[in-house]
A and B are shown apart, each in its own frame.
Chain A
C-alpha cells in the first residue's frame, strides 16, 4: 500500500467524517475505524521490508522550482509509531462512537480526530524537516480543537489555548532549530542530514540548534518545566486524552528526540540536557500524580512521568537504553491507552472520576475490570505482562550505561510510585471500598466501550508471554533507525536472578508499602504540590497576562481613534526616516534652477501654495475642502503642462469624486464644538510643510541620482512591439504590471465593502 494513502488518507477521511456520522449514526465509529485498520494492514505489508533494516520511500515532486519534494519514508522507528497511531486510532474511533453516542456534534469530533491522525502519521513518515514541521504544528492545532471540544466550558477553552500556545510556541523554536540545521548541513532532507552528522556536531552553531529543537520536543512531550499543559488538557473528552495526550501526540517529542539522535545525539551536551530534563520530569510527574483524586489527572501525571522516562532513556543513548525506550514506548501506549479508556467508561457509566467515590466496581463492570487489572499489572511491571519486560530493560539500561547512580535511584522511586498507583487503579477501584458517597455504575456499556481496553490489555499480556512476537521484526528495526547500525532485539521474560530482577522486586515492595502507608505520605506530597503550584505554570500564566496587558496598553496608545494623530505619526515617522537617511548618506547635490521654469508653471505653483496655506487656517470645513480641491486641480494642471494626460485626467476625476466624498462625510459630522487653536494649526501646518518639503527633496534627489539604467525606455520601446499598445501608462497598468493592478483593485474592493459594512452597522445601532 502506498505510503501516500497512509499519510494522507486520514486527512481525506476527516473531510467526509461528518457525513458518515450523519448517515451511519451509531455505527459511524465502526465504519470510520476501517480507515485506520487499513493503515495497520498496509503497514504490516511493509513489515517484511522494514524488518531487514531497509526503508520504504515514496515521493512526488511538489514545487520543482524550489527543489521541494513531498516524500514519505518508512523506517523502523516510523513503522513502530505509525502502527501505534493507526492501531490505537482504530480503537479510539470505535470507542468514541460509544462514548459520544448521544452527542449530536460528534461528526465534528470525528473530523478533528482524523485530522489529527493524518497529521500525526504525516509527522512520523516525513522525510523532510519542513514537512515534519508542518505536520507537527497541525497536530498542535488538532489537539487545540479536540481539547476545546466542549467549548461551552471556560476551563476547556483555557486548557486548549494553553496547550496550543505551549506546544505550537515550542514548535516555532523547533522551526528555528530546523532552519539552523538546514543552514549548517545545506539540506532539509533527513536522509541527507544523517550523512552530515559529524559536521553538524562540530559546528559552532551546534548547541543553539540542539537547544531550539529540544525545546520543541520538550514542550510537545510535556517535559519539565513545560509539563503543566498536559494535565490541564484532560478537559478534552476521554477518547482524546487516551489517544492524543497519552498514546500518540505527546510522544511526538520523544519521536523527534529519537529521530534526531543519529543527527544531533551522542555528544556530551546532548546528554547533559536531555537526561536531567527527562529524569526530573519522570520523578516529578510521578510525585504529582500521588495526591490526585481525579482518575484522568492521575493518568495524566503518570503519562508525564512516562514521557520523562522515555526522554531520559533516549538521552542516555546507549544501545540498551534506546532499546529499553522503544520497548517502553509500546508498553506504555498499550497499558495507558487501556487505562484511559477504562477511566472514560467509569466516568460515563457512573458519572464520576473521583477515586474516593469509586470502589467494588468489579461486580458491576466485570469485563472492564479484567482490562483494568491486566493493564495495571503491566503498569506496575509485574510478570508475565509486557510491562515487566519494559521495566527490566529500563533497569538493565540504567545499570549498564555507567551513568550516575542518581538516575537509577530516581528510576526506582518513580517505578515504586507507579506500582502504588497501579494498586489504586487495578485493585482499589474494583475490589476496594469507596471512601465516601459511592457512585454505582449501572452497566459497563456496549462492546464499543469495553472492547478497546480489553484488546489493548490482551495485547499487553500476549507480548509479555510471547515477547519474541514483535521484538525482532519491529523493535529491532526501530532501534536500527535510531542507532544507525543494524540491531537485533531479543526479549525474554526471564533473565535469571540478576540486579535488575532484585530492583524489580524492591520496587514492587516499595510501591505496595507506599499504598499501605498512604495516610502518612499524602500530607508531604500535598505540600510538595503546593510548592510546585507557584512554579512553571504560574510563571507562564503571569507572563501571558503581562503580555496581554502590554498589548492592550500599546494598542490604546497607538490606536487612539484620532485620525489626526495617526496622520501625524505616519508623516513624522516617514519624514524622520528619510531625513535620517539623508544625514547618514549625504546624497548628491540637488539642482534647483527655478529660472528656466516657464512663468505659468510658477503661477500655478503660487496658487497651489496659497490654497494650501488657506486650507490650514480655514474657518469652516467646507472652505478647507475647497482649498484642498484647488491644490488638487493645481497639481492636475502641472500634469497637463508637462504632458502626462493620463495622470491629469485621473487626478481631475479623483479630485472631483473626493470633493463629493468629503462633502458627504462632512455633512454627517457634528458641528465643530471647538475650533482648533492657532497653535495647533501652526503645528499641523509645520508638520505638513516639513513632510512635503522632505518629499520634494527626495524627488529631486531621485532625479539627481541614477542608480540603474532607466526603465522608461524599455517600456516605451516594448509597449507597442510586445503588448500592442501605444499608451505606455495603460500598457504598464494592464499588461506589464497587471498583477500589481489586480492586487490594488482587490484591496480597493475590500476597502469599499468595509466602508459599506461600517456604515450599515453604524446606522443599525442606536446612537449612544
Chain B
C-alpha cells in the first residue's frame, strides 16, 4: 500500500471507470477491438490500482467476492458455454446464437461465444488478482 493522497483520490475515481470500461470492452469485443481477455486485464488493472492505493484488505472488500470463487465461476461459465452445442447435437463448443429483438435496445446478439467470453473475462481477472494480491499481502 502506498500512502499517497493523490493516488487515493485518483484510484477512488479511476477504479470504477476502469471496471465499467472493462465491461464495455468485453461486450464490444465481438465486433471491435476488445474482448474477454483484454477486458479482464483492464478490470484487473483497475482493482490492482485500488489495492495499491488502499491495500489489499480494502480491495478485497471492494470486490466483494473472493478471487478464488470468481476463478471457479469463470471457468464454469466458459465450460458451460461448450455444452449447449452437445444438447442440440452439434460438435462440442459450436457457437449457438439467439437474437431477440427488444424494444429500445434493438436486436441483442446473445450467443454461447459471449458466455464463453464472460467466462474468460472473469477467469483472467481472478488469475491476475490471485497472483498479484498474494504477492502484495505477503509481508
A residues touching B (Cβ–Cβ < 8 Å)? 645-646, 649-650, 653-654, 656-657, 660-661, 664-665, 667-668, 723-727, 729-731, 733-735, 738-739, 741-742, 745-746, 748-749, 751-753, 755-756, 759-760, 762-763
Q: Kindly identify which residue among A726, A735, A748 contacts B32, using a CB–CB cutoff of 8 Å.
A: A726
Q: Is the CB of A752 within 8 A of B126?
A: yes
| Interchain CA distance A724-B30 in the complex, whole Å | 8
Chain A residues positioned under 8 Å from B33 (CB to CB)? 645-646, 649, 727, 729
11 A-B pairs with CB atoms under 8 Å apart are A657-B45, A657-B48, A661-B132, A664-B136, A667-B139, A730-B30, A742-B93, A745-B78, A748-B127, A749-B75, A762-B138
Given A657-B132, A664-B132, A739-B113 contact (CB < 8 Å) = no
Q: How far is it, in angstroms, between the C-alpha of A724 and the C-alpha of B29 when the chains are bound?
A: 12
The answer on a CB contact under 8 Å between B95 and A660 is no
Interface members, chain B 23-39 (any A CB < 8 Å): 29-38
- List the B side residues contacting A753 at CB < 8 Å: 68, 71, 130
Choice from B30, B37, B78, B127 contacting A731 with Cβ under 8 Å: B30
Q: Report chain A residues within 8 Å CB of B113.
A: 723, 725, 731, 734-735, 738
- Contact at A660–B93, with CB atoms within 8 Å? no
Q: Chain B residues with Cβ under 8 A from A645's Cβ?
A: 33
Chain B nearest CB, measured from A271 CB (Å): 52
Interface pair B82/A660, CB less than 8 Å apart? no
Is the Cβ of A738 less than 8 Å from the Cβ of B116? yes
- A759: chain B residues within 8 A (beta carbon): 134-135, 138
Q: Pick from A723, A727, A733, A752: contact of B95, CB below 8 A.
A: A723
A760 to B138, CA, bound (A): 8
For the complex with contacts A745-B120, A756-B131, 4 further pairs of A-B residues with Cβ separation under 8 Å are A729-B33, A734-B30, A745-B74, A753-B130
Taking a contact as CB atoms under 8 Å apart, the answer to whether B120 and A741 are in contact is yes
B135 x A668 contact (CB < 8 A): yes
Cross-interface CB contact of A657 among B31, B44, B120, cutoff 8 Å: B44
Q: B124 at interface (Cβ–Cβ under 8 A)?
A: yes
Q: What is the predominant secondary structure among interface residues of chain B facing chain A?
A: helix
CB atoms of B134 and A660 under 8 A apart: no
CA distance A645 to B29 in the complex (A): 11
Which residue numbers of B lie inside 8 Å of A, CB to CB?
A: 29-38, 41-42, 44-45, 48, 52, 68, 71, 74-75, 78-79, 81-82, 92-93, 95, 97, 109, 111, 113-114, 116-117, 119-120, 123-124, 126-128, 130-132, 134-136, 138-139
Among all A-B residue pairs, the 5 with the closest Cβ atoms: A653-B41, A726-B31, A645-B33, A730-B35, A725-B30
Given the complex, which residues of B lie within 8 Å of A760, measured CB to CB? 134
Please, how many angstroms separate the alpha-carbon atoms of A173 and B78 in the complex? 41
CB-CB under 8 A from A751, the residues of chain B are 127
**From residue B90, how far is it (CB to closest CB) to chain A in Å?**
13
**Selected contact of B35 from candidates A661, A729, A742, A745, CB within 8 Å:** A729
Once the chains are docked, how many angstroms separate the CA of A646 from the CA of B98?
26
Looking at the assembled complex, report how far the CB atom of B52 sits from the nearest CB atom of chain A, in whole angstroms. 8
Asked if A748 contacts B138 (CB within 8 A), the reply is no
B130 engages A755 (CB within 8 Å): yes
List chain A residues, Cβ under 8 A from B32. Answer: 726-727
Name the residue of chain A whose CB is nearest to the CB of B130: A752
Chain B neighbourhood of A739, CB < 8 A: 82, 92-93
In contact, B34 and A646 (Cβ under 8 angstroms): yes
What CA separation (Å) do A654 and B79 show in the bound complex? Answer: 25
Taking a contact as CB atoms under 8 Å apart, the answer to whether B31 and A749 are in contact is no
In the assembled complex, the Cα of A646 lies from the Cα of B42 at a distance in Å of 13
B71 touches A650 (CB 8 A): no
Asked if A646 meets B38 with Cβ closer than 8 Å, knowing A749-B127, A756-B130, A759-B138, the reply is yes
B91 to A: closest C-beta gap in Å: 10
User: A742 and B78: CB pair below 8 A?
Assistant: yes
Name the A residues within 8 Å of B138 (CB-CB): 668, 759, 762-763
Q: Which residues of the other chain, A, contact B120 by a CB distance below 8 angstroms? A: 733-734, 741, 745
A749 contacts which chain B residues (CB < 8 A)? 71, 75, 123, 126-127
Shortest distance in angstroms between A656's beta carbon and chain B's nearest beta carbon?
A: 6
From B68, B116, B123, give the contact of A748 (CB < 8 A).
B123
Taken together as a complex, chains A and B put the C-alpha atoms of A759 and B139 apart, in Å, by: 11
Tell me the complex Cα distance, A741–B81, Å. Answer: 13
Within the complex, the shortest CB–CB distance from A711 to chain B, in Å, comes to 18
Q: Does A727 lie within 8 Å of B31, measured CB to CB?
A: yes
Contact A752 B30 (CB under 8 A): no
Q: How far is the CA of A724 from the CA of B31 in the complex (A)?
A: 8
Cβ contacts under 8 Å, A742 to chain B:
78-79, 82, 93, 116
Known A-B contacts A664-B132, A755-B131; A650 and B37 likewise in contact (beta carbons under 8 Å): yes
Complex contacts, B48 vs chain A, CB 8 Å: 657, 660
Contacts of B114 in A (CB 8 A): 734
CB contacts (< 8 Å) of B111 on chain A: these are 724
Contacts of B30 in A (CB 8 A): 724-727, 730-731, 734
C-alpha gap A657/B130 in the complex (Å): 13
Asked if residues A746 and B135 are in contact (CB atoms below 8 Å), the reply is no
Other-chain contact of B41, A650, A665, A763 (Cβ < 8 Å) = A650
Kindly list chain A residues whose C-beta atoms are within 8 Å of the C-beta of B136: 664
Complex: how many Å from CA A664 to CA B52?
Answer: 11
Query: A727: which B residues are within 8 A, CB to CB?
Result: 29-35
